[in-house]
Structure 1
């Protein structure tokens, strides 16, 4: 068994003790009816025998998934999730970080380093963002700051609509009317139509 697989097997034991299930290079946990994923992403095109990887975390809201006709129960793919972060931007250096196995002749040293990253940064970040209330708070802040991109807007407004927040329509319309989002206007209008159709369906 190569060093990368040995590393993941060791980390899997620690993550299992904290409630995570494993599927390949990904570790899943369900809380607040939502799903979080810790994903070990290998660099493409690495040399034989070499492994370079980073860690991503994803969160999927069951309510948002249901709105779009899917679910994040069990072990969903990361493409079904609605929030994500690269671990390097959670660390003090606040930049993309990749680990290379060959930089650690003693694999135990790397295991300890990654355990600290997972326990001190990844898991707390998941706990702070996995609820719908936390996602809504995060998205509202990004919306207010004018830094929300279309995909976030789509998930944000779907979440608001699913909870029947009184300002869902005003916020959806404000995004569309903003000159900063003119390139996304057409697809944003299509999404707004979808939101409004869900209102009509709810009345029937």
Structure 2
């Protein structure tokens, strides 16, 4: 049985879309999926990048595309009242409900839908308290152990080569983004395309 690690941050609408549609991509395969929360901002900082919502023009396009993709694929999605927001409370709550840095699909689904359904403020303190009571975490989400686990998850993702969310890792190969699900499906089906030796372009280190 193959194993997939799904790196996610609840702040990402693309991670939510990928989460909702992943079962379809895996249909017909015996796959074990581990859901691993990471801090997207930590990935961006490591790679010296801005998030899509921090770039004028790209921000508006991102939201329009996300709404279109949700419509196109039949996913229930409403943009939260504030975005981007601080996802730390949600990430730590998720890990407090999990074990050794991983969470189950129910926890991931509950938090993703807290953010991306209904159009409310995802980081609202009262809503977060209600969500915490619903999930009944095994640890205190504010504990140093949980904070350290989130950092460890993020560091491990960076070491694995992860640069964004969602990223799905299988057999040491990374599949990034919601639009990578068809590619992942083809890989799992044994598409011979993946057996090619790739001659990739050389990296330009200085632009004249």
TM-score, normalization: structure 1? 0.27
Greater RCO, 1 or 2 (C-alpha within 8 Å, sep 6+): 2
Give the number of the structure whose alpha-carbon radius of gyration is greater: 1
